Amino acid sequence: MSKSKPAFFITGTDTDCGKTYVSAALIRHLQQKYASVAGLKPIASGFEPVDGRMQNADVEALTLASNAALAPELINRYSYHPAIAPHIAAGQLGDIICTDLIELDVARALEQVDALVVEGVGGWLVPLSESGSVNIEILAQRLELPVVLVVGMRLGCLSHALLTARAIIQSGVPFAGWVANHVDPEFDFLRDNIATLENQMPVPKLFEVPYRCNSDKYAEVEACTEHWLGLLRSL
């Protein structure tokens, strides 16, 4: 895949670790430098009726952050209503999640925008097929985009983060770094846990996302991403 334009793949330690929030913040920041920037969520599970149509919160967030109008099927190729693992949802419909098609969607999107952010689903090894032979790792290898790992800072995050980082490196894809996302305001010894990851993660911490407390903190995240972008440009 062409790397002539900035494009990044956002993954996470697990579900609800903040991938969409970080992806949307990066999209908005990139718009300060590039005329057209969009976000893709190729696979999404969990749709609810909103104003007479089915919506997925992650897809909507990326679409709202984007300033380029892409075809809906490019933004979200595979849509599954129940909030369950995508391979299970696909199996219920007799569907097959095709990484070839997603790769083509990303290439087509890059033809229409100046910069692109692609968000994965779940964690790094989430299956995309019943056999497990296709998963998020395989998709990321196909796309060959720099990977950013979002770590939800909560109890259990150390093992999740270190295991995921090891798997990303073993996959051979470009690994830009990790983001510490404060998802639990009552997480004990937060700074100690971040220090542990800073010492043991094989790639640098790019920045931290403050706990949102139900308020809009995008501006705070955008203010931190210049350092992030500098690191990504070196890949």
Residues taking part in catalysis: 41
How is residue 145 annotated by DSSP?
P
Structural tokens at position 12: 């996470």
Q: Is 170 helix (H, G, I), strand (E, B) or coil?
A: helix
- What are the E-state strand segments in the chain? 7-12, 37-40, 43-45, 48-50, 53-55, 78-80, 115-123, 147-152, 175-181, 205-209
In the sheet where 37-40 sits, what is the strand order?
37-40, 115-123, 7-12, 147-152, 175-181, 205-209
Spatial distance between the Cα atoms of 208 and 190, rounded to a whole number of angstroms: 12
Spatial distance between the Cα atoms of 227 and 136, rounded to a whole number of angstroms: 27
Structural tokens at position 61: 């967030």
User: Which position has the token pair 């993660």?
Assistant: 201
Phi, psi of 44 (to 5 degrees): -140, 135
